[in-house]
Amino acid sequence: MITLDIQNLEAKIGDKQILNGLNLQLEAGKVHAIMGPNGAGKSTLSKAIVGHYDVAIVGGDIFYKGKSIKEMEPEERALEGIFLSFQHPVEIPGVNNAYFLRTALNAKRKHEGKEELNAAEFLRLMRTHLEELGMKPDMISRSLNEGFSGGEKKRNEILQMLVLEPDVIILDEIDSGLDIDALRAVSEGINKMKDGKRSFLVITHYSRILDYIEPDYIHVLKDGQIVKTAGPELVAQLEEEGYDGIIVNE
Amino acid sequence: MKLSDLNEKTLEAIAGKKSKALEKFLSMGLPSKKSEAYRYFNVENLLDNEYETLEYVPKSIEVGEQIEIVDGVVTTAPQGMRIYYEACDQIDDDHFDPLYYLGHALYPQTIKIEVDGDAELKLLHRFTKSNALINYRIVLFNQANRHATVYETFDAKGIENTLVMYGYDMHIAKDSSFRLFKVQTMQEQNYSMIASHKINVAKQATTMYKSFDLGGDQALQLIKIDLGERAHIDAQHLLYLNEQSKRGTVSQIIHKGEHSTSNQEAKNILDGDARGIFDALIKVEETAKYTKAYQNSKAILLHEKAYMISKPQLEIYIDELEAAHGSTTGQLDPKQLFYLRSRGISAIEARKMLVIAFANTMLETIRDTRHQELIRAEFEKVFYAHAKELS
């Protein structure tokens, strides 16, 4: 089953066209890794999927569970089950992390016709997830991402993912700035979400994260297009030959 | 009475004799658009209105939980509070606000409050008269080596077109600490206020002045603060304005003593056609070596017609000091808004969260959780009442 179907997508940031007719299908229960050189359009792709204001879609379409999401607001896409773990999560002083998470979770529950969680129920849920991610309990009582280290920010992204239980998970350079322990904890959190139904789109520069989150497909993105798709064996080839080698051979 | 009609003769007739305050006022004249302190505030409209003047007849003070001043007269106070009516003998010689002097000149009998020992006081100002000029001044003393807190609120229901001129002459004793929390929610066309204060912070005393000015209408607080040796002031101002409101702070913090320190911070949230004012000078005199002075103003404009006047200024006459000031005015951060929305929070709710967050960064500095919760509740009440219009 296809969860996300990107068809001939063309997107601009400002006047510059970044995506040039990109085609990509994410399968349910599969991990898709996108690799590519700097400036290939990896982050633009993730932004286009979640409806970031920087990106203007000028051609093609994005279908989520068969429905076009091109005109949907970012919050509508999130409520439908699309989640982006940001490369650089923004700090928001004054917004309590727990309050933010509970607001987001209850917005989703309301959207799904479920009852909202009260503070006690929410805290119980949090305790479990915090332990799983090796996060200090005080992190949810602090302001959202304020003063968090790089690793703490990424763990907080994964915490949100665990709480919101999305169906399509986009991880934009989740490994950047992480030490080995943090990388392991974050990867375990991600692997826990694999349930055979969710789709993962792992955007990365380096193969290191793919030692922890085993991909089913590797897509190489260059000049705003997917230029090669293969199985996990492509990682080793990329390590050996680099992007230029792979693309030239194609 | 029209304040704009006042002249030497009429003022002498009202005041009864030519006082120092009257002389100072006459030398400065009524404020206008050209006056530095009132440049951004439509004071002339207020001075041109016809007001009924009130008789301030002291009443017997009933025992109550808080000090209550109704239309300039103390009606209740906690048991044992020392409150008198008497002429102020320590009027500032060099206040920048002519209305500071006019307030003293029009009614020389001030309300003198002596805060005894370690104390926490609630002070409620209640205004009940429409079309009136309510003018009174409070002289406040605390004791050396003591810690006092005043939590000040205002109430004015069912009145219109009144002008309140009030203010403090505060004398913060040596080695003491004093905290004032002022919370003032105003409604459009209810009353206007000019609050002209003088705060003298003696040697090694610490003072906190936190004002939370919320809602509508016109009001200006004009504060002159003198800092003695090793004295400290922490001045914070949260402004949330909507509709046609024009409110703000004009202040002068004067470092007079060595090692004196000041930290002044303004956070301004402006909606509708509101205009916020933060016109604040920190002056470091030659006698104030080793001063540390910091000043910052941040403003968020929620509407294209909202407007912030932010003028932090430093005037320095020595080299041996640390000082910095800054000012930013902008809109809600689009990256922060997007982050919240990307988690399923609606655009309107995300905007509200960011506004509350901006205010929270100041509210969270209130250490006493009771005060913090009271002020937060008042802020959220006023904000949410108007937030429906956010888009």
Please list, residue by residue across B135-174, b when 16 or more beta carbons sit within 10 angstroms of its beta carbon and e when fewer do.
bbbbbbbbbeebbbbbbbbbebeebeebbbbbbbbbbbbb
- Total number of domains constituting chain B: 2
Q: In the structure, what pLDDT confidence band is assigned to residue B111 with cuts at 50, 70 and 90? A: very high
Residue showing tokens 């409806």: A51
User: Residues of A with CB below 8 A from B356's CB?
Assistant: 94-95
Q: Which residue is closest to A170 within chain B, CA to CA?
A: B342
Q: Are A130 and A138 in contact (CB under 8 A)?
A: no
| Of B334, B343, B359, Cβ closest to residue A78 | B343
Do both B33 and B59 map to the same domain?
yes
Cβ–Cβ of A90/B345 closer than 8 Å?
no
Residue type, position B120, single letter: E
Per-residue pLDDT averaged across B103-121, rounded?
92
Using alpha carbons only, give the angle B388, B389, B390 rounded to the nearest 5 degrees: 95
Residue where one domain finishes, among candidates B299, B331, B363: B331
How much of chain A, in percent, has pLDDT values that exceed 90? 67
Neighbour count for residue B36 (Cβ, 10 Å): 11
pLDDT at B248: 96
- DSSP secondary structure letters along B82-94: EEEEEE-S---SS
* Separation of alpha carbons B88 and B96, rounded Å: 18
Using alpha carbons, select from B253, B234, B230, B259 the residue that is nearest to residue B318: B259
Cβ–Cβ of B341/A75 closer than 8 Å?
yes
Do both B113 and B261 map to the same domain?
yes
Task: Tell me the pLDDT tens digit for each residue of B181-202.
Answer: 999 999 877 899 999 999 999 9
Do both B362 and B228 map to the same domain?
no
Do both B168 and B62 map to the same domain?
yes
* Separation of alpha carbons A82 and A164, rounded Å: 10
Per-residue pLDDT averaged across A53-72, rounded?
96
| Of B347, B359, B360, Cβ closest to residue A75 | B347
Cβ–Cβ of A84/B354 closer than 8 Å?
no
Mean pLDDT rounded to a whole number for chain A: 92
3-state SS of B248-301 is EEEEEEEECCCCCEEEEEEEEEECCCCEEEEEEEEEECCCCCCEEEEEEEEEEE
Do both B170 and B272 map to the same domain?
yes
Per-residue pLDDT averaged across A31-51, rounded?
94
Do both B326 and B336 map to the same domain?
no
Rg (C-alpha) for chain A, rounded Å, is 18
Task: Tell me the pLDDT tens digit for each residue of B48-101.
Answer: 999 999 988 888 899 999 999 999 999 999 998 899 999 888 999 999 999 999
Using alpha carbons, select from B264, B266, B298 the residue that is nearest to residue B282: B264
Do both B267 and B361 map to the same domain?
no
Using alpha carbons, select from B220, B194, B217, B197 the residue that is nearest to residue B209: B197
- Whether residue B318 is predicted with pLDDT greater than 90 in this model: the reply is yes
Cβ–Cβ of B334/A74 closer than 8 Å?
no
Q: Which two tokens stand for residue B354?
A: 């960011």
* Separation of alpha carbons A139 and A151, rounded Å: 12
CATH architecture assignment, domain A2-249: 3-Layer(aba) Sandwich (3.40)
Do both B70 and B24 map to the same domain?
yes
Q: Are B266 and B212 in contact (CB under 8 A)?
A: no
User: Residues of A with CB below 8 A from B335's CB?
Assistant: 90
- Domains of chain A by residue range: 2-249
| Of B335, B342, B360, Cβ closest to residue A50 | B342
Residue where one domain finishes, among candidates B301, B331, B361: B331
Mean pLDDT rounded to a whole number for chain B: 93
Task: Tell me the pLDDT tens digit for each residue of B253-265.
Answer: 999 999 999 999 9
Q: In the structure, what pLDDT confidence band is assigned to residue A248 with cuts at 50, 70 and 90? A: low
How far away is chain A from the Cα of B268, in angstroms, using its nearest Cα? Answer: 15
Q: Domain of B367?
A: 332-391
Q: Which residue is closest to B349 within chain A, CA to CA?
A: A103
How much of chain B, in percent, has pLDDT values that exceed 90? 82
Q: What are phi and psi of B9, to 5 degrees?
A: -65, -50
Tell if the pTM clears 0.80, that is, is over it.
yes
How far away is chain B from the Cα of A230, in angstroms, using its nearest Cα? Answer: 30
- B384 close contact with A: CB closer than 8 A: no
pLDDT at A249: 54
Residue where one domain finishes, among candidates B281, B315, B331: B331
Do both B128 and B248 map to the same domain?
yes
Q: Are A212 and A184 in contact (CB under 8 A)?
A: yes
Q: Are B231 and B263 in contact (CB under 8 A)?
A: no
Do both B356 and B326 map to the same domain?
no
* Separation of alpha carbons B299 and B390, rounded Å: 17
pLDDT at B391: 46
Do both B300 and B350 map to the same domain?
no
Q: Are A222 and A40 in contact (CB under 8 A)?
A: yes
- A110 close contact with B: CB closer than 8 A: no
Q: Are A44 and A19 in contact (CB under 8 A)?
A: yes
Do both B118 and B223 map to the same domain?
yes
